[in-house]
């Protein structure tokens, strides 16, 4: 089933590959974008309150993990909070009980998320389109119920409190969010790099083929379910890294991490940023985290009214999202420029 | 055995809400191709509206049972004209996302207006007591909910399958192009059908008002169970929605009775089994993916 998500195929074999001038222009553009990204990643805790910077980084990676499925497999997961939350609880428990340095706890959390993703993904990939969204949502809710009832481990409604940030006894990193950011951002960038590698690999090409025409891909001899399942588990792992970072940064884990509104929030970020772009997610994450922070400090208690309205407007008028619209404008301007030159 | 019968009645009553609301979801999906994420919020609005009508205008349950669905019908039509119709031609995910955003707005609006604690509502006159069946006493209101919901489902089924209006709606759903060619204004029918589906959710809300906590968030878990129901029943199927609705109500009640704390998980286990064995759902057609 084809999904018309208005996402242009990431064209890998561009004609401009063979034009040296266009190639140079492209590498300059890449360098420019890379520099902007690097400045944004390194400068973030200078511009915003450092704990908020960590939040933005975690949500950004979470949004990338959702976009990996939505934009490149055409599967909307409305239950990604399951992986974010399972990893948050697992990372919290590992850090609490074994006193391991937090990157180990985060990686452990991500592995737990991937393990839980195998049975959920196995069942979910049997359905596509809207069914996939409903099935993932339902299974995520099941995990929420289990966590709510399994009080011995999860602490029920109290959550996990006092998760330590141990990091080889380096106090500056353990206590100052500013320095903590620069350690966790390595994990975040690694996760984002992994997503980018997946999309730009032969494996990623097959995923896009499944998105565009799963029947044809199957006819070409690819095991569609297997590819989707692998993508699902990888996406869950990336979401797990994000959830682990979030849990360690906050020092506590609550049921909110598994809540369906968390799944909805990350989908909102992905759509707002621009689905199928991978880098739109971080933009959407930054906008929403900063907006919610601003609203919370101003004492406004109806955040859902604002975010829900943004979502409605975005879906009605602005389906490419922020990144997609910007990219579209730049592409059009470039096409116009090229036309005038020739 | 006595306990079993009580759980059965309890499950059939809960199944009544689920069946009515799932029926609305199925009708909307059938006619518009929209999976309405805001359906749980419409159910919540139905319950809140009955509580507010009672509080402000002194309108009792029996009148609310008629007035609230009409109000929800109008509300549904406004939503369809204002928001939903613009995305009908696009991928189904867009309206799913749109109605998700709408549900965020509705829940927080109600939360701001009426707070997070439950609104009061009493059992309607004449249905507050217990009914003796053999050696078992069952709450008469639960029995009423079951029978009423069943009756509404039967009426809807009758209208859809036996009347001219139902024929037009089915034709507009299944063969929109051909229906248009035969002179039926398909788009004129789509809007009232959406309103009708919303009215069914509102009706389920009115029925829930006397014995569920009326809060802004009462619809959020409800919609996820509804999704599980339509996955179990098969999304395109009206019969599937109703049967799976009652089935899930029973599973939930027996779970609460016998499995205790993990009862809610049972619904999702049931869903997992259905997906594994019959991916299209119990009554779904294979191609309806």
- Asked if B22 and B230 touch (Cβ cutoff 8 Å), the reply is yes
Beta bridge partners of A160: A253
Which of A256-270, B33-47, B105-119 comes out lowest in average pLDDT? B105-119
Q: Which of A233-247, B48-62, B101-115 shows the highest mean pLDDT?
A: A233-247
Give bridge partners of residue B70 from the DSSP assignment.
none
Distance in Å, alpha carbon of B75 to nearest chain A alpha carbon: 17
Asked if B90 has any chain A CB less than 8 Å from its own CB, the reply is yes
* A302 vs B contacts (CB less than 8 Å): 108-109, 111-112
Percent of chain B with pLDDT over 90: 33
Binding-site residues on chain A for chain B (CB distance < 8 A): 1, 3-5, 76, 123, 126-131, 133-135, 137-139, 141-142, 145-146, 149, 260-261, 264, 267-268, 271, 301-305, 307-312, 315-316, 319
Please list the ranges in chain A whose pLDDT falls under 50. 1-12
A-B interface: how many C-beta pairs under 8 angstroms? 127
C-alpha distance from B95 to closest chain A C-alpha (Å): 8
Packing angle of the helix pair A50-70, A177-199 (nearest 10 deg): 10
**Residue among B93, B109, B265 minimizing CB distance to A142:** B265
Sort out which chain B residues have CB atoms less than 8 A from A311's CB and list them. 97-98, 100-101, 104
The tokens for B244 are 């799976």
Cα dihedral across residues B190, B193, B197, B202: positive or negative: positive
Touching A: B residues 109-168, CB under 8 Å: 109, 111-112
Tell whether B242 lies on the interface with A, counting CB pairs under 8 A. Answer: no
Percent of the residues in chain B that have a pLDDT greater than 70, as a whole number: 98
Cβ(B211)–Cβ(B123) below 8 Å: yes
Which stretch, B60-64, B248-252, B256-260, has highest mean pLDDT? B248-252
Ordered by start, the domain boundaries in chain A are: 45-341
Helix (H) or strand (E) holding A337: helix A321-341
What pLDDT score does A179 carry?
85
CA B171 and chain centroid, separation: 23
pLDDT in tens, B219-250: 888 998 999 898 898 877 888 899 999 999 99
Contact A81, A299 (CB under 8 A): no
> Which strand (E) or helix (H) includes residue B131?
strand B130-133
Q: The tokens 């759509």 sit on which residue?
A: A271
- Residues 6 or more apart whose Cβ sits within 8 Å of residue B68: B46, B49, B50, B53, B202, B203, B205, B206
Mean pLDDT (whole number) for B64-69: 92
C-alpha separations of A79 from A5, A286, A336, B114 in Å = 19, 21, 42, 29
Identify all chain A residues contacting B98, using CB atoms and an 8 Å cutoff.
311-312, 315-316
pLDDT value of residue A16: 55
Other Cβ atoms less than 10 A from the Cβ of A15: the count is 8
Q: Is the pLDDT of residue B21 over 80?
A: yes
pLDDT, position A7: 47
Choosing among 1.10.3470, 1.20.20, 1.10.260, 3.30.460, the CATH entry for A45-341 is 1.10.3470
Residue among A121, A129, A134, A309 with most chain B CBs within 10 A, to mutate: A134
- Specify the 3-state DSSP secondary structure of B137: strand
Handedness of CA A182, A185, A189, A191 (dihedral sign): positive
Nearest residue to A88 via CA among A240, A273, A309: A240
B273 alpha-carbon distance from chain centroid? 23
Q: Is the pLDDT of residue B136 over 70?
A: yes
| Whole-number pLDDT of residue B216 | 87
Region of A252 (left: φ > 0; alpha: ψ -120 to 50; beta: rest) is beta
Residue of chain B whose alpha carbon sits nearest to that of A270: B97
Complex ipTM = 0.85
The domain ranges of chain B are 13-216
Out of B86, B105, B276, the one facing A316 most closely (by C-beta) is B86
Residue of A nearest to B264 (CA): A145
Inspect the interface and report whether the beta carbons of B83 and A309 lie closer than 8 Å.
no
Note whether A133 and B96 are within 8 A (CB).
yes
Angstroms from B209 CA to nearest CA on chain A: 24
Bridge partners, B136 (sequence order)? B133
């Amino acid at each position: 089933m084809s999904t018309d998500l208005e996402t242009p195929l990431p064209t890998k074999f561009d004609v401009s590959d063979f034009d040296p001038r266009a190639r140079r222009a492209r590498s300059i553009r890449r360098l420019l974008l890379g520099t902007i990204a690097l400045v944004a990643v390194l400068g973030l805790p200078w511009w915003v309150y450092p704990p908020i910077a960590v939040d933005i980084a975690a949500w950004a990676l979470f949004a990338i993990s959702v976009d990996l499925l939505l934009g490149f497999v055409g599967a909307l997961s409305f239950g990604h909070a399951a992986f974010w939350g399972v990893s948050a609880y697992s990372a919290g428990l590992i850090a609490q009980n074994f006193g391991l340095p937090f990157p180990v706890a985060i990686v452990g959390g991500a592995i737990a998320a991937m393990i839980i993703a195998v049975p959920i993904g196995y069942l979910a990939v049997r359905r596509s389109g809207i069914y996939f969204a409903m099935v993932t949502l339902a299974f995520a809710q099941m995990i929420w119920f289990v966590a709510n009832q399994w009080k011995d481990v999860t602490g029920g409604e109290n959550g996990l409190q006092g998760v330590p940030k141990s990091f080889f006894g380096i106090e500056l990193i353990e206590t100052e969010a500013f320095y903590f950011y620069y350690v966790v951002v390595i994990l975040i960038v690694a996760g984002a790099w992994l997503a980018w590698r997946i999309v730009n690999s032969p494996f990623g090409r097959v995923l896009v083929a499944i998105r565009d025409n799963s029947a044809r891909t199957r006819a070409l001899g690819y095991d569609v379910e297997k590819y989707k399942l692998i993508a699902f588990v990888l996406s869950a792992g990336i979401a797990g890294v994000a959830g682990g970072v979030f849990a360690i940064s906050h020092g506590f884990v609550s049921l909110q991490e598994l809540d369906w509104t968390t799944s909805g929030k990350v989908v909102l970020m992905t759509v707002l940023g621009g689905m199928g772009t991978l880098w739109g997610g971080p933009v959407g994450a930054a906008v929403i985290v900063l907006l919610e922070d601003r609203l919370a400090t101003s004492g406004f208690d109806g955040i859902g009214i604002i975010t829900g309205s943004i979502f409605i407007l975005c879906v009605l008028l602005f389906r490419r999202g922020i990144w997609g619209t910007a990219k579209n404008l730049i592409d059009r301007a470039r096409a116009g420029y090229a036309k005038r030159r020739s | 055995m006595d306990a079993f019968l009580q759980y059965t009645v309890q499950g059939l009553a809960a199944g009544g809400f689920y069946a009515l609301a799932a029926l609305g979801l199925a009708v909307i999906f059938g006619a518009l191709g929209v999976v309405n994420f805001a359906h749980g919020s419409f159910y919540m609005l139905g319950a809140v509206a009955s509580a507010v009508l009672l509080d402000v205008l002194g309108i009792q349950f029996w009148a609310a049972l008629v007035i609230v669905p009409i109000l929800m019908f109008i509300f549904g039509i406004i939503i369809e004209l204002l928001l939903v119709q613009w995305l009908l031609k696009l991928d189904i995910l867009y309206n799913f996302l749109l109605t998700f955003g709408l549900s965020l707005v509705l829940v927080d609006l109600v939360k701001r207006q009426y707070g997070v604690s439950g609104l009061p509502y009493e059992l309607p006159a004449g249905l507050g007591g217990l009914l003796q069946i053999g050696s078992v006493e069952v709450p008469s209101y639960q029995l009423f909910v079951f029978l009423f919901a069943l009756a509404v489902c039967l009426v809807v089924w009758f209208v859809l399958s036996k009347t001219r209006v139902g024929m037009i709606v089915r034709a507009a759903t299944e063969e929109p192009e051909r229906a248009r060619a035969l002179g039926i204004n398909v788009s004129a029918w789509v809007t009232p059908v959406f309103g009708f589906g919303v009215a069914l959710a509102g009706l389920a809300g009115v029925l829930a008002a006397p014995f569920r906590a009326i809060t802004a968030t009462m619809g959020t878990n409800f919609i996820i169970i509804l999704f599980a129901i339509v996955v179990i029943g098969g999304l395109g199927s009206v019969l599937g929605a109703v049967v799976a609705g009652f089935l899930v109500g029973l599973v939930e009640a027996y779970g609460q009775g016998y499995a205790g704390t993990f009862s809610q998980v049972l619904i999702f286990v049931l869903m997992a089994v259905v997906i594994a064995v019959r991916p299209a759902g119990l009554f779904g057609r294979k191609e309806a993916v």
